[in-house]
Amino acid sequence: MPWLSITLETDASQAEALSEALLEEGADSVAIEPAGARTRLNALAAVDADAAALVASAARAADLPPPAFSIARVADEDWVLRSQSQFGPIRVADRLWIVPSWHAPPDPAALVVRLDPGLAFGTGSHVSTRLVLKYLERNLRAGERVLDYGCGSGILAIVAGKLGAGEISATDIDPQALETTAANAAGNGVALGVAMPDSLPPGTFDLVLANILAAPLIALEPLLAARARPGGRVVLSGILESQAAEVAAAYARNFNAGLIALEDGWALVGGERR
């Protein structure tokens, strides 16, 4: 069957965020390539997809103005293989690699998470995800009880499990994200529980992770604070550097919150529960 090809250009610094958002909003694949001083994204979607709505919702999710785009119908082909060629192993921390299922691990000594791009946000390619993964590699304590709030692909929960976390819960408002997380966890040999937010098991956690966006993170402060034990930690991502102070201020009611790390204009915010 034919497919809808959506082509747009953006600044290089915005390409990863917009690519992840397009996948999250329904694109089947996104290829990224240089285009002079800009970066070109080519997304494939179902032929009956609403391209304008897809691009607009992805731009909102990435906190970007809607870009101009063009569309074309493309003939049926093995676009899965074409998409796979765009994604290779990603080194996200000192010894942690995210490796698609069609690639061999690049380093036999690496800590490998098998994860394919697709149905939910979180392949490890975006800075906001890498910031949390680096934090986990350096700071997760064996046996800690972990909550991944807004789990997407489940990458944060899965890496926590690989690094020795104890009980792990993952939640998202999107049922498809929960299905994807459960499948990815099983594929990586990680035991965790998945549930909608109102069906989470009772109790508090040693570590609460949330990689979303600044505005929903601010709104979620009371809920996330209630889920962190006294002395437990919250770690928040999906925050632009310019938004970090506002997010930290919102969490200062219950946490000694502050800036943890910065990378390429994105911030990691968090602290201990009082």
Same domain, 176 and 69: no
DSSP class per residue in 175-224? HHHHHHHHHHHHHTT---EEE-GGGPPSS-EEEEEEES-HHHHHHTHHHH
Which pLDDT score, from 0 to 100, does residue 78 have? 47
Q: Which of 34, 54, 83 is the last residue of a domain?
A: 83
Which pLDDT score, from 0 to 100, does residue 126 have? 76
Which pLDDT score, from 0 to 100, does residue 171 have? 97
Same domain, 76 and 166: no
Which pLDDT score, from 0 to 100, does residue 54 have? 95
Q: What is the CATH number of the domain that holds 22?
A: 3.30.70.980
What is the count of structural domains for the chain?
2
Q: What is the CATH number of the domain that holds 207?
A: 3.40.50.150
Tell me whether residue 113 is in a domain. Answer: no
Domain residues for the domain of 147 are: 121-272
Same domain, 71 and 126: no
Q: Which of 24, 56, 83 is the last residue of a domain?
A: 83
Which pLDDT score, from 0 to 100, does residue 119 have? 44
Same domain, 46 and 145: no
Q: How far is CA 236 from the centre of its chain?
A: 12
Same domain, 25 and 135: no
Same domain, 233 and 143: yes
Which pLDDT score, from 0 to 100, does residue 81 have? 46
Same domain, 129 and 48: no
Which pLDDT score, from 0 to 100, does residue 57 have? 94
Which pLDDT score, from 0 to 100, does residue 68 have? 94
Same domain, 178 and 236: yes
Same domain, 267 and 170: yes
How far apart CA 273 and CA 264 sit, in angstroms, is 28
Tell me whether residue 103 is in a domain. Answer: no
**H/E element holding 247?**
helix 244-251
Same domain, 230 and 134: yes
Which pLDDT score, from 0 to 100, does residue 124 have? 60
Same domain, 152 and 262: yes
Assign 266 to helix, strand or coil.
Answer: strand
Tell me whether residue 61 is in a domain. Answer: yes
Same domain, 129 and 9: no
Which pLDDT score, from 0 to 100, does residue 122 have? 56
Which pLDDT score, from 0 to 100, does residue 32 have? 77
Q: Which of 83, 107, 142 is the last residue of a domain?
A: 83
Three-point CA angle 230, 191, 270, nearest 5°: 30
Which pLDDT score, from 0 to 100, does residue 117 have? 57
Tell me whether residue 107 is in a domain. Answer: no
Per-residue pLDDT of the chain (274 residues; tens, 9 = 90+): 578 889 999 987 888 789 888 988 988 778 777 777 788 888 888 889 999 999 999 999 999 999 999 998 876 554 444 555 455 677 877 788 888 776 777 777 788 888 765 544 555 667 888 899 999 999 999 999 999 999 988 999 999 999 999 999 999 998 888 998 999 999 999 999 999 999 998 999 999 999 988 999 999 999 999 999 999 999 999 898 999 999 999 999 999 999 999 998 899 999 999 9
Q: Whole-prediction pTM value?
A: 0.71
